[in-house]
Amino acid sequence: MAGRGSTLKQRDRTDLSSTLSPPASPFETRMTAKIVPSVLPADLARLGADCAALDAAGVDRIQWDVMDGHFVPNLTFGPDVIAACRPHATCGFEAHLMCERPEHMLPAYIEAGCELIIVHPETLQQPHRTYAAIRELGVRTGVALSPATGLGLVEHALDLVDLLLIMTVDPGFGGQAYLPSMEPKIAAARSMIDDSGHDIELEVDGGIGPDTIAGAAAAGADVFVSGSALWRYANFVEGVADLRRRAEGAWIASPRPSSPAITKLT
């Protein structure tokens, strides 16, 4: 972490414009829609190759859906699998821990190469302490809210959060249908983040594909997790480009006053 701090100090010395301009709003840096594939639909026999292909297609990072068979029914990726795939991609990895007591798993998934750890507040005995612990381990903190979980479970801790994930399906299974009833919740989350003044990404996950991404984008999301839908394209390059184009098109069609990035996209 010392090297990272030195880099930041050097950047401060060489980029004087950052000290002469007012702080950017959360939207001023949102120049392109971030596409994050879930590798849950991947062929496990060629997981490393798929990670390499996704990276080459220009994804922003790769999501690992980690399920423990308790918080959700299925069992999926352990840290050893993620570590084995880490050399195959240069993009970031995020771990979505759909697990009971994820506090005990944090070091293993960070050591495996995940730069963003997403947890569900319902699974935490001490949410504030867990969010802070993730940052203290040198990575970013994400909080996921299931469809039935209200924004109130995270509103009190936004100063400790780098990403808010709104689930647009119930967690635990891939290939589910998108819940358009979550769009008002996405919009409310967008307003909550903007009002807080914190730089927090707003991610959506569940049923995100060519027919649904625009609705989530118009509601205020800026990061989009796509699983099964991305695998249905002829190739990842085509899929990533199409999903990004549709999301950015929705931003332009439904601009919000707090979104300078909308103007830049036009």
Q: Residue 105: which of 142, 72, 76, 66 has the closest Cα? A: 66
Residues constituting the chain: 266
Sequence-ordered list of residues with C-beta below 8 angstroms from that of 144, at least 6 positions apart, any chain: 96, 98, 118, 119, 120, 165, 167, 171, 205
159 catalytically annotated: no
205 catalytically annotated: yes
Q: Which of 65, 68, 162, 222 is catalytic?
A: 65
Report residue 119: phi and psi, to 5°: -125, 160
Residue for token pair 């625009």? 214
Q: Nearest 5°: CA angle at 90, between 85 and 95?
A: 55
Give CA 189 to chain center in angstroms. 14
Pairing of strands 163-167, 223-226: unpaired
Q: Which of 55, 60, 205, 222 is catalytic?
A: 205
Q: Residue 112: which of 163, 158, 51, 173 has the closest Cα? A: 51
Q: Give the residue numbers marked as catalytic.
A: 65, 205
